[in-house]
């Protein structure tokens, strides 16, 4: 399970949240399918193919990182282009010869005192940061189940709840469920949704505002890259596919200053 925190909270965003930080998120978002870490629509046009939720937040994939952010979804994570280099200064003109000596001028009046310097501007708020935590489904649920185990509750308490309490203002908590490739996509979609809902309900029971929590099931569409399993024995295959069975929790908010 992955947990995202703004301003340094542990390890998929909306117009309302971005506006709260002084940044406007456009109502449409386009991403290059060849190099995109957001969830893409199969029917959307190229300039509006990123899937968004009910609050205009772009859904991120499980392998999304801040370095893959796009301006249409996470403008506060996209670095501004560097300022242009100053133009070279013109060469100094040659110094003319001194004029003939003139009578000494009358004394100049005393100069007026210099005005006091303007106060330095207040420092700009720190740019939001994103972090994630992933918890393997094995620690939360039995195989092919969506009921939290006692050790699963303990894992959520220590890896998620304790760290959410460090967030001064929680704006969004996104819980995403994933499965392995065994079974049909329709079945795995429902299983991933049930698991995400179970985690949501547990977080709410521990004091996280339920209206701030959203859930998303990805089924078997986002396997962990690099995991290859070709075992013939089913028990061995299930064990090999364990990394794909996971739940991610992402949190957006302001970190408590300590």
What tens digit of pLDDT does each residue of 36-71 get? 888 888 787 878 878 888 888 898 888 888 888 888
Question: Which of 113-117, 128-132, 218-222, 241-245 shows the lowest per-residue confidence on average (mean pLDDT)?
Answer: 128-132
Does 4 have pLDDT greater than 60? no
- Whole-number Å distance between alpha carbons of 133 and 4: 7
Please tell me the pTM assigned to this model: 0.49
- Whole-number Å distance between alpha carbons of 137 and 132: 16
In whole angstroms, how far apart are CA 26 and each of 46, 70, 98, 171?
A: 15, 12, 64, 19
Q: Give all domains of the chain, ordered by start, each with its CATH number.
A: 15-78+128-255 (3.30.1330.60)
User: Would you put residue 19 in left (φ > 0), alpha (ψ -120 to 50) or beta?
Assistant: alpha
What tens digit of pLDDT does each residue of 150-181 get? 888 898 998 888 888 888 788 888 999 999 99
Q: What is the pLDDT of residue 202?
A: 92
């Amino acid at each position: 399970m992955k947990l995202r925190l703004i301003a340094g909270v542990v390890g998929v965003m909306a117009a309302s949240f971005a506006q709260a930080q002084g940044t406007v998120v456009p109502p449409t978002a386009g991403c290059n399918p060849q190099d995109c870490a957001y969830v893409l629509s199969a029917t959307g046009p190229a300039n509006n193919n990123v899937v968004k939720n009910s609050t205009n937040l772009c859904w991120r994939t499980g392998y999304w990182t801040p370095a893959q952010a796009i301006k249409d979804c996470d403008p506060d994570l996209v670095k501004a282009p560097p300022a242009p280099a100053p133009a070279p200064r013109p060469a100094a003109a040659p110094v003319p010869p001194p004029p003939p000596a003139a009578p000494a001028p009358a004394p100049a009046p005393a100069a007026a005192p210099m005005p006091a310097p303007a106060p330095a501007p207040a420092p700009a708020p720190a740019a939001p940061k994103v972090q994630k935590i992933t918890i393997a489904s094995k620690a939360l649920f039995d195989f092919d189940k969506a009921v939290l185990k006692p050790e699963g509750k303990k894992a959520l308490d220590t890896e998620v709840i304790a760290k959410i309490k460090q967030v001064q203002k929680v704006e969004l908590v996104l819980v995403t469920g994933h499965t392995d490739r065994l079974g049909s996509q329709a079945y795995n979609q429902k299983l991933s949704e049930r698991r995400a809902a179970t985690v949501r309900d547990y977080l709410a029971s521990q004091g996280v505002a339920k209206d701030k929590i959203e859930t998303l099931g990805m089924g078997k569409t986002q396997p962990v890259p690099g995991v290859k399993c070709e075992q013939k024995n089913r028990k061995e295959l299930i064990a090999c596919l364990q990394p794909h069975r996971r739940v991610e929790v992402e949190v957006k908010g302001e970190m408590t200053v300590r």
